[in-house]
Amino acid sequence: MDFNLGFYLIDHRLLAVAIVAVLAVASEIGFRLGSRSREAQESFRSLISGTGAAMLGVMGLLLGFTLAMAVSRWDERHDVVVDESNAIGTLWLRAGLLEEPLRGELRDALRQYTDARIALGGSRDDRAALRAERSKSESLHATIWSTVERANELGMSPAILTSLITSANELIDIHELRLASITNFLPAPLMLLQVGVAGVAIGFLAWSFGAIAQGGRTTLLVLALLIGIVLLVIMDINRPQRGRIEVGIDSLERVAETMVVQETKEGTP
């Protein structure tokens, strides 16, 4: 299994607890080493304190950049869902240009396709359900394209046929974009790098507290918790199928509702 995927499949709440534990251990080790160095020269203690402050600055930059990267990926996933909703809605409307039974067959396939895409977003961390909805979607691609090909055989107007082909192509292309967006999470080494930098930074800071004989364990623990919370939020945003911060499928649900409303109106004498 790919390392990034394996890291992604670990429960992020468990990772957050592990990160806080690692930072707490780093602070305790730093504090004890500092306590043993209380007789060190002032210049040396100043050097260690300055290094710790610099490491904290680096950690802050890393957290800021990583959060920005995670939010950017979330925005991309949301935009893909909106684009897919628009593509489905457009093809649904253009299907109305066809004669029966092609119109009914195409719209029926689009209705099933919309349900599959909604289920894809709701599959969460159930990888079996995700694979099932992906397989169903790809099967419906064949049905949709087959209907467009039959419209061509019946000698449809070139303008209508071109619009149908364009919409069907866009719908099929967005399928891969959405699947790619789901797995477009931050590299695991980047997250591990942040934990390492945070551990070193807190270790230096704890050394400074210990060297000047000040009890700062509570302060260091609070700092470790804050860093853990920030990393938890980043990992939550980074996990579109697992985290509490979801991308949402409201656009697809609205398209499904529009289909029902339009069919009801068309069925009304």
Q: For residue 29, give every residue at least 6 positions away whose Cβ sits within 8 Å of its Cβ, in sequence order, or none.
A: 203, 206
pLDDT tens digits, one per residue of 134-159: 899 999 999 999 998 888 777 778 88
Q: In the predicted model, is pLDDT for residue 213 greater than 80?
A: no
pLDDT tens digits, one per residue of 34-80: 777 766 666 676 777 777 788 888 888 999 999 999 999 999 999 99
For every residue of the chain, DSSP letters joined together read: --HHHHHHHS-HHHHHHHHHHHHHHHHHHHHHHHHTTTTS-HHHHHHHHHHHHHHHHHHHHHHHHHHHHHHHHHHHHHHHHHHHHHHHHHHHHHHTTSPTTHHHHHHHHHHHHHHHHHHHHH-TT-HHHHHHHHHHHHHHHHHHHHHHHHHHHTT--HHHHHHHHHHHHHHHHHHHHHHHHHT-PPPHHHHHHHHHHHHHHHHHHHHHHHHTT---HHHHHHHHHHHHHHHHHHHHHH-TTTSSS----HHHHHHHHHHHHHHHHHH--
Q: According to the model, what pLDDT value does residue 1 have?
A: 57
By CB atoms closer than 10 A (0-12, 13-18, 19+), residue 128 is exposed
Q: According to the model, what pLDDT value does residue 244 have?
A: 79
* Domains of the chain with bracketed CATH: 12-32+188-238 (no CATH), 75-185 (1.20.1440)
Q: What is the pTM of this model?
A: 0.84
Q: In the predicted model, is pLDDT for residue 113 greater than 80?
A: yes
Q: According to the model, what pLDDT value does residue 214 have?
A: 60
CA nearest to 169, candidates 144, 139, 200, 205: 144
pLDDT category of residue 123 using cuts at 50, 70 and 90: low
pLDDT category of residue 211 using cuts at 50, 70 and 90: confident
pLDDT tens digits, one per residue of 167-191: 999 999 999 999 888 888 888 888 8
